[in-house]
Structure 1
């Protein structure tokens, strides 16, 4: 199983059991991996269930310098270790990305054609599920 598959599975499993944030109130609409190091989750945030948001997170997010910046909640949370443990990474995403209020991240959302507001590790092209 690839690192991204393990991270996504850990994230989705942790959403159902978390007691740290409002992660258990997140409604997942869709989720998938992009290659060996990236996960994408489309969800309804716990504090704004009428909004559909997409988050894209890469392995690289956990090894960037640990300073906070808008849209980067991987700067805190559980220690993922130098090799970025996929389970710890997935739990971080569940609790500290998905389970927290969007707050100022709302200003940084980039909307796709399906009205999903994306944030996280974004390039020029927004993520889309490829079958």
Structure 2
């Protein structure tokens, strides 16, 4: 399970990986905003690689890495770096950077859900879309 700082470690690992990754187009991602959402979730608002106008948001939860490894639209955590049975936050963050953010949106565009600010969200979404915590 996650510890209180798990999401902060995963988010930091993701943001650091975006700066140095040569695996995908991660270095071309422009992060607009990012935050940890509780102990097991991270949210990143970004411009995808090669796009200057689109602003999308991704929410990823610890649970994404422990679900059965079947691929479905909007779930890119079905492959990538081994995160281990306890879901290492650094490996999780690297997966998000390289294989979620660092890839073109492609068909995921069909799954985007737009918030009031026009940000198209994908990933681990509930009924309500993520919002930046105040403060």
TM-score normalised over the length of structure 2: 0.95
Q: Distance in 2 between matches of 1:78 and 1:47?
A: 24
Structure 1 residues not aligned, in runs of 5+: none
Matching of residue 66 in structure 1 with residue 66 in structure 2 = no
Q: Compute the RMSD of aligned alpha carbons.
A: 0.7
How far 1:50 moved relative to its partner? 1.1
Counting matched residue pairs gives 131
Structure 2 gaps of 5+ residues are none
Match of 2:120 among 114, 117, 124: 117
- Equivalent residue for 2:60, pick from 39, 48, 57: 57
3-state DSSP of counterpart to 2:27? helix
SS at match of 2:106: coil
SS of 1:81's equivalent in the other structure is coil
Runs (4+) of structure 1 exceeding 3 A deviation are none
Q: Distance in 1 between matches of 2:21 and 2:67?
A: 25
